[in-house]
């Protein structure tokens, strides 16, 4: 018997109460509270079969046992980390759950934090990291900052020196309370046993609702204190987040939309999962759709109503449409400098009040869940026939597609990145999860890869940190075990986290890593060129990632000839092993 959480409205489906196992519900079943699809649900708790339950140790419980059982009851399935001196109590409590909470041992804490961040972005649910005091905590920081800035829920647990040593300069002691303050939405130290369940449930609540990192430091001696208490259930402790704005505000927004001549719908990560609803709005208005990078794939990118991305990694179709628009209907975007969204009249939808008018004023702001507000706005706006505008947009889009097609030279050597993107586009599964790194690989993927709505992408959006790609893919393999997992990375980013390819092997996570190997920090080389600097310190030592993968026990494929690329990609995607396809690539952004 199991319970599942709707990640849109927080309603809990209980197998026993509903009398039908969640797994047996039809694919088209939707949340009875908010209408979210079955795929928006995550496993919260699972009751063990008699045999498994009997094997559970009956030893006296400690604070660590209560803490781990509490996070398990709130749906934490994974803890990522490296065991160490100041976390032994918590590690043993995870061991005692017999897999109810899975511990994933990585090679560097940065990978653990990237994995938890990626897991949050992909599922809308929370997982945990566990690091020791001092170096374990400091190594977590880049991945945690990534989660915090991209609004991904993560529970960060760290060990601390025993209470009696705090502040005395003990080995591996740093001021963790101060250290985690700027990168968390909740930051506390567990000082006594009777705080355990309340503190840890509040931490998860803050991470999910305030969208970021919740940190709890647990002194070594507190972890081992004997303690028994009731576990707090998830039900009744979370608000229904499927809320919208009052009717009169929506009517006011619709009036502004009705007055516009060339409206554009601009979408970001906050519109995820709303592709079908957005297309209905687009059709009623005769309005094209533009996305930020993190909004990529929400709408099928081959759709003629979709203009592409906007900004640094955008399409000409999107910028041409944007130039002449007189109204933005902005849904779930943060207005980062990278997306370069200009100031226009604007109707804005966002669930986070602080995202409203973050850069430019909004004429009408609709505060609430985009899943609720998109259909409400669609209902209120007047239907428009804008055949000319629709045709103009479709023509611009077709010209953009043609340009990208022409860029994808199948014969050029070294292999051109647009050709790599074209081949991946053709071969990758319709429901693949794609994890991106940062650099030229990411630039080319954003610009030249056309995602399907059924695919998912995860990336480091705001921190834009190199090294995210492989850990993101590892997390995707755990979050979506039934899907094909693809990582698009570069030689610079992959080297930062290469040791954790061994984690893929240890846990048999069949990630397919495609290295756009230009033997450079390619994006920085490009910037040096554009800014008139000498190309310097951007060349990287040439190294065979394929040999590394093979030696580690995975599948490694080196591609130097363009004619070999298709077969190599096919072979990798068919393999059930963790795989690295190392593709020798032209470092130049444009061949001419
Ligand atoms: Fe729901």
Which DSSP string do the residues of 321-375 spell out, in sequence order? HHHH-SEEEEES----GGG-PPP--EEEEESSGGGTTSSS--SEEEES-HHHHHH
Ligand 1 mean position, distance from CA 44 (Å): 14
pLDDT, tens digit, 9 for 90 and up, residues 112-170: 999 999 999 999 999 999 999 999 999 999 999 999 999 999 999 999 999 999 999 89
The domain tally of the chain equals 4
Ligand 1 mean position, distance from CA 65 (Å): 31
Ligand 1 mean position, distance from CA 76 (Å): 19
* 342 vs 473: CA distance, rounded Å: 33
Q: 383: which DSSP letter?
A: P
Ligand 1 mean position, distance from CA 33 (Å): 5
Ligand 1 mean position, distance from CA 42 (Å): 11
Closest to 565 in 3D by CA, of 419, 371, 376: 419
Say whether both 470 and 338 belong to one domain. no
Ligand 1 mean position, distance from CA 247 (Å): 21
Q: Please report whether residue 590 resides in a domain.
A: no
Ligand 1 mean position, distance from CA 11 (Å): 6
**Omega prior to 414 cis, within 30 of 0:** yes
* 298 vs 531: CA distance, rounded Å: 34
Ligand 1 mean position, distance from CA 350 (Å): 18
Q: Please report whether residue 402 resides in a domain.
A: no
Q: Please report whether residue 30 resides in a domain.
A: yes
Question: pTM to 2 decimals?
Answer: 0.96
Q: Where on the phi/psi map is residue 93: left (φ > 0), alpha (ψ -120 to 50), or beta?
A: alpha
Q: What is the pLDDT of residue 56?
A: 56
Ligand 1 mean position, distance from CA 45 (Å): 17
Say whether both 46 and 87 belong to one domain. no
Say whether both 3 and 101 belong to one domain. no
Helices (H) and strands (E) in the chain, counts: 23, 21
Ligand 1 mean position, distance from CA 427 (Å): 34
Closest to 76 in 3D by CA, of 5, 151, 126, 113: 126
Say whether both 258 and 210 belong to one domain. no
Closest to 451 in 3D by CA, of 468, 466, 436: 436
* 190 vs 188: CA distance, rounded Å: 7
Q: What is the pLDDT of residue 52?
A: 55
Say whether both 489 and 561 belong to one domain. yes
Ligand 1 mean position, distance from CA 89 (Å): 36
Q: What is the pLDDT of residue 312?
A: 84
Say whether both 66 and 193 belong to one domain. yes
Ligand 1 mean position, distance from CA 5 (Å): 8
Ligand 1 mean position, distance from CA 38 (Å): 9
* 229 vs 18: CA distance, rounded Å: 28
Say whether both 363 and 423 belong to one domain. no
User: Which range marks the domain in which residue 176 is found?
Assistant: 62-238
Ligand 1 mean position, distance from CA 397 (Å): 35
Say whether both 88 and 208 belong to one domain. yes
Ligand 1 mean position, distance from CA 236 (Å): 14
Ligand 1 mean position, distance from CA 548 (Å): 45
Is the predicted pLDDT of residue 548 greater than 80, yes or no?
yes
Ligand 1 mean position, distance from CA 72 (Å): 21
Phi, psi of 220 (to 5 degrees): -50, -45
What DSSP assignment string belongs to 504-549? HHHTT---EEEEEE-SB-HHHHHHHHHTT----S-B-----HHHHH
Is the predicted pLDDT of residue 208 greater than 60, yes or no?
yes
Q: Once rounded to an integer, what is the mean pLDDT over residues 35-59?
A: 76
Closest to 92 in 3D by CA, of 61, 135, 126, 48: 61
pLDDT, tens digit, 9 for 90 and up, residues 219-241: 999 999 999 999 999 999 999 99
* 113 vs 140: CA distance, rounded Å: 6
Q: Please report whether residue 311 resides in a domain.
A: yes
Q: Please report whether residue 403 resides in a domain.
A: no
Tell me how far CA of residue 567 lies from CA of 264, 372, 431, 558, in angstroms.
Answer: 41, 45, 21, 11
Q: Please report whether residue 592 resides in a domain.
A: no
User: Domain boundary at 374, 396, 418, which?
Assistant: 396
Give percent of the chain with pLDDT exceeding 70: 98
Ligand 1 mean position, distance from CA 12 (Å): 8
Q: What is the pLDDT of residue 424?
A: 98
What DSSP assignment string belongs to 437-448? -SSHHHHHHHHH
Ligand 1 mean position, distance from CA 78 (Å): 23
* 115 vs 110: CA distance, rounded Å: 9
Q: Please report whether residue 345 resides in a domain.
A: yes
Ligand 1 mean position, distance from CA 34 (Å): 4
* 145 vs 215: CA distance, rounded Å: 12
Ligand 1 mean position, distance from CA 242 (Å): 7
Ligand 1 mean position, distance from CA 453 (Å): 21
Is the predicted pLDDT of residue 53 greater than 90, yes or no?
no
Q: Once rounded to an integer, what is the mean pLDDT over residues 281-302?
A: 97
Q: What is the pLDDT of residue 591?
A: 74
Ligand 1 mean position, distance from CA 13 (Å): 9
User: Domain boundary at 396, 420, 446, which?
Assistant: 396
Q: Is the dihedral of CA 291, 294, 296, 297 positive or negative?
A: negative
Ligand 1 mean position, distance from CA 30 (Å): 8
* 513 vs 510: CA distance, rounded Å: 9
Q: Where on the phi/psi map is residue 300: left (φ > 0), alpha (ψ -120 to 50), or beta?
A: beta
Q: How confident is the model at residue 590 (pLDDT cuts 50, 70, 90)?
A: confident
Q: What is the pLDDT of residue 176?
A: 95
Is the predicted pLDDT of residue 526 greater than 60, yes or no?
yes
């Amino acid at each position: 018997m199991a319970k599942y959480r709707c990640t849109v409205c927080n309603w809990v489906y209980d197998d026993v109460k509903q009398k039908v196992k969640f797994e047996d519900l039809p694919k088209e079943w939707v949340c009875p509270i908010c209408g979210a699809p079955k795929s928006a649900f995550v496993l919260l708790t699972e009751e063990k079969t008699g045999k498994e339950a009997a094997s559970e140790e009956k030893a006296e419980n400690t604070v660590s046992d209560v803490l781990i059982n509490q996070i398990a009851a709130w749906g934490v399935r994974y803890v990522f980390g490296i065991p160490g001196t100041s976390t032994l109590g918590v590690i043993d409590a995870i061991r005692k759950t017999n897999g109810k909470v899975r511990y994933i041992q990585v090679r560097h804490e940065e990978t653990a934090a990237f994995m938890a961040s990626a897991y949050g972005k992909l599922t809308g649910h929370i997982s945990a990291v566990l690091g020791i005091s001092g170096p374990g905590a400091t190594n977590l920081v880049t991945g945690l900052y990534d989660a915090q800035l991209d609004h991904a829920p993560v529970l960060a647990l760290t060990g601390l020196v025993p209470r009696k040593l705090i502040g005395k300069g003990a080995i591996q002691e740093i001021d963790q309370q101060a250290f985690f303050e700027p990168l968390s939405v909740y930051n506390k130290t567990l000082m006594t046993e009777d705080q355990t369940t309340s503190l840890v449930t509040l931490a998860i609540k803050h991470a999910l609702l305030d969208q970021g990192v919740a940190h709890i430091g647990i002194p070594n001696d507190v972890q081992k204190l004997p303690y028994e208490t009731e576990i707090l259930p998830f039900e009744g402790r979370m608000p229904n987040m499927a809320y919208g704005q009052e009717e009169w505000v929506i009517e006011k927004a619709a009036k502004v939309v009705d007055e516009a001549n060339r409206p554009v719908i601009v979408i970001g990560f906050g519109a995820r999962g709303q592709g079908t609803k957005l297309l209905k709005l687009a059709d009623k208005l005769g309005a094209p759709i533009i996305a930020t990078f993190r909004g990529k794939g929400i709408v099928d990118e081959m759709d003629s109503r979709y203009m592409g991305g906007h900004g640094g990694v955008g399409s000409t179709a999107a910028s041409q449409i944007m130039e002449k628009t007189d109204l933005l209907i902005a849904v779930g975007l943060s207005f980062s400098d990278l997306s370069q969204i200009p100031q226009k009249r604007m109707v804005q939808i966002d669930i986070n009040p602080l995202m409203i008018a973050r850069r430019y004023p909004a004429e009408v702001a609709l505060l609430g869940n985009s899943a609720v507000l998109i259909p409400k706005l669609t209902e209120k706006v007047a239907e428009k026939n804008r055949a000319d505008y629709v045709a103009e947009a479709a023509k611009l889009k077709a010209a953009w597609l043609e340009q990208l097609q022409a860029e994808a030279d199948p014969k050029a050597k070294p292999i051109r990145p647009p050709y790599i993107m074209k081949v991946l586009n053709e071969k990758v599964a319709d429901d693949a999860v794609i994890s991106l790194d940062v650099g030229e690989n990411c630039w080319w993927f954003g610009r030249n890869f056309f995602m399907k709505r059924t695919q998912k992408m995860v990336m480091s959006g705001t921190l834009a940190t190199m090294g995210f790609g492989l850990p993101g893919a590892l997390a995707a393999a755990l979050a979506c075990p039934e899907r094909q997992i693809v990582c698009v990375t570069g030689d610079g980013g992959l080297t930062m986290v290469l040791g954790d390819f061994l984690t893929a092997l240890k846990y048999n996570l069949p990630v397919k890593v495609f290295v756009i190997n230009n033997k450079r920090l390619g994006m920085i080389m490009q910037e040096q060129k554009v800014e008139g600097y000498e190309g310097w310190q951007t060349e990287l030592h040439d190294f065979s990632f394929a040999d590394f993968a093979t030696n580690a026990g995975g599948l490694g494929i080196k591609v130097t000839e363009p004619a070999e690329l298709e077969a190599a990609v096919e072979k990798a995607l068919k393999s059930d092993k963790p795989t690295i396809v190392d593709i020798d690539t032209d470092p130049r952004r444009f061949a001419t």
